Amino acid sequence: MTEFFMAMKPPTTTHQEKQVSVVNGKPHFYEPAELKAARAKLMAHLGQHVPDRKYTGPIRLTVKWCFPITGNRLDGEYKDTKPDAGNSNKLLEDCMEELGYYKNDAQIASLIVEKFWAAMPGIYIKIEEL
């Protein structure tokens, strides 16, 4: 099992924000600067927690996104506003795969993703072999 908390203000840019342009009549997909920055931030924080061995079988990934409290929200209250949990998590999963947490994100057989308002912002991650 791998378990850790990355204290940070979680990125609000998601994987879905890739852009497309047409070059010589062909579509060219690229990451805008904000998405590149979010990827770099996740890679830097995740890089400190890469497990000694890559997970090779089915896994359960639990992710708790803890966003800074705004307005009259309470610590631990569920967050039901943007960014979308699924799109945020896709970028995180791709970064984890690139860093060698697992061979392929298709190994994630069980996925638990939650978003909260939190006095201590960050991202909690737990990986369990199934």
Helical spans, DSSP H, in the chain: 33-46, 85-99
Q: 121 and 51 in contact (C-beta within 8 Å)? A: no
Predicted pLDDT at 20:
67
Q: What is the DSSP letter of 111?
A: E
Predicted TM-score (pTM) of this structure: 0.88
- The SS3 of residue 100 is coil
Class of domain 2-129: alpha beta
Predicted pLDDT at 111:
98
Predicted pLDDT at 15:
59
Q: pLDDT by residue (tens digit) across 13-64?
A: 875 556 566 678 888 776 778 889 999 999 999 999 999 999 999 999 999 9
Q: pLDDT by residue (tens digit) across 77-92?
A: 999 999 989 888 999 9
List the one residue out of 68, 81, 60 whose CA is nearest residue 118: 68
